Amino acid sequence: MEERVESQEVYAGKLFQVFKDRVRLPDGRLTTREIVRHPGSVGIIPRHADGRIVLVRQFRYVAGRELWEIPAGTLDKPGEGILEAARRELAEEAGLKAERWTTLGSAYLMPGYCDERMTFFLAENLSPTVAQAELDESFKVNPFDRHDLQVLRSSGELRDAKTLLGLAWAGVPLWEEPGRRR
């Protein structure tokens, strides 16, 4: 285990903070860790009764391109629970609500330098609701069947790690089964 000796905040933003920590290694040596502290997030895999999965496409400045992603967002509203955040994000990003919610699990997205942990949900029994995207967000929403998702993955259009993990946890086969042709 590593032991924190001191911690210095070097940046405080709207959604996360960055710290520079001095830590003692098990052998006694000191080193530095740069850490992004994040309040956590939710990722939603919206599945229609016919099996189609709803993805949203939005421009990601860091990637320099639009990406197909599962609806997702930060736990940034005081007093809001994780499931309530997932419901809010599904409505904001996809214009949908769900009657049935299943927690699939949670995972650290970048544990080498960030403590963000995303909780994944499968949302089913979908129906439309009013979409209220944040002022700095714009989404294209599209349902995809299994074949279309496999094409997106094999063509390199699915590049978002949280989306790939969420789809895998929801049991969506993104790789063609050996010997099976359409």
Q: Give the β-pairing of 41-46 and 117-128.
A: parallel
Torsions phi, psi of 23, nearest 5? -130, 150
Q: How many CB atoms lie within 10 A of CB 62?
A: 5
Q: Is 80 a catalytic residue?
A: no
Q: Which amino acid is at 30?
A: L
- How far is residue 122's CA from residue 166's CA, in Å, rounded to a whole number? 9
CA separation for the pair 23, 7 (Å, rounded): 9
Whether the CB-CB separation of 38 and 50 falls below 8 Å is answered with no
Name the 3-class secondary structure at 166: helix
* Active-site choice (9, 93, 137, 176): 137
Among 119, 111, 112, which residue's Cα sits nearest to residue 75?
Answer: 119
User: What is the set of active-site residues?
Assistant: 137
